[in-house]
């Protein structure tokens, strides 16, 4: 078992014990439960943000006795004329509403990992991923750049 400490910026510290084979997701969910806060991002002592939630604790370079910081992120909402996206800050989104206005992201769901930012037009959404690529979904007429989205790299802002 690994013993880790997780601290909020407020100074609240919780001690946890996990198997080395546990994932970053397991650790993140445990921290959210202990601190009673959703949308936490975990940061190592050397300032590395743990983004790959499927990575094992061991593969993430976390060792017995390490102290991690937990930073609470604000959920953000983007809206088209008939749909909403809630960006939770955990690298994922939840879309709902009129499918023709972007309320159904199932066609691009596999691509929607490690999201940095989401923006909306009148009937479509665009998400910038951590690697700078862009994923778009929504009404085809308003999503005229989806055919070239594979060319969009190192995007900083929409």
pLDDT (tens digit per residue) in 94-126? 889 999 898 988 888 888 888 888 889 888 898
Kindly state the average pLDDT of the residues 133-142. 78
Q: Percent of the chain beyond pLDDT 70?
A: 88
Residue 129 has pLDDT above 70, yes or no: yes
State the span(s) of the chain assigned CATH 3.10.20.90.
2-72
pLDDT tens readout for residues 8-42: 988 999 999 999 889 999 999 999 899 988 767 89
Q: pTM of the predicted model, to two decimals?
A: 0.55
Kindly list the distances between the CA atom of residue 85 and the CA atoms of 28, 120, 146, in Å, as whole numbers in the listed order. Answer: 22, 9, 18
Give the bridge partners for 71, in sequence order.
41
User: Which pLDDT value is given to residue 149?
Assistant: 62
Q: Does domain 2-72 sit in CATH 3.10.20.90?
A: yes
Pairing of strands 40-43, 76-79: unpaired
Banded pLDDT at 5 (limits 50, 70, 90): very high
- Report the chain's terminal Cα–Cα distance, integer Å: 44
CA distances from 30 to 5, 67, 135 (A): 12, 15, 30
Phi-psi region of 95 (alpha: psi -120 to 50; beta: other; left: phi over 0): beta
Of 152, 156, 122, the C-alpha closest to 135 is: 152
State the pLDDT confidence band at 144, using cuts at 50, 70 and 90: low
């Amino acid at each position: 078992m690994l013993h880790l400490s997780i601290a909020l910026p407020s100074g609240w510290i919780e001690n946890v014990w996990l198997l080395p084979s546990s994932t970053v997701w397991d650790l993140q969910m445990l921290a959210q439960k202990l601190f009673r806060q959703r949308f936490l991002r975990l940061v190592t002592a050397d300032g590395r943000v743990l983004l790959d939630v499927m990575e094992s604790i061991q593969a993430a370079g976390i060792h017995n006795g390490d102290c991690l910081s937990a930073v609470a992120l604000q959920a953000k909402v983007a809206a088209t004329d008939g749909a909403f996206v809630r960006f939770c800050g955990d690298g994922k989104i939840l879309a709902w509403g009129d499918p023709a206005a972007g309320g159904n992201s199932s066609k691009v769901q596999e691509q929607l990992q490690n999201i940095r930012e989401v923006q909306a037009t009148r009937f479509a959404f665009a998400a910038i991923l951590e690697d700078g690529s862009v994923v778009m979904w929504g009404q085809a007429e308003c999503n005229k750049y989806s055919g070239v989205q594979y060319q969009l790299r190192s995007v900083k802002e929409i």
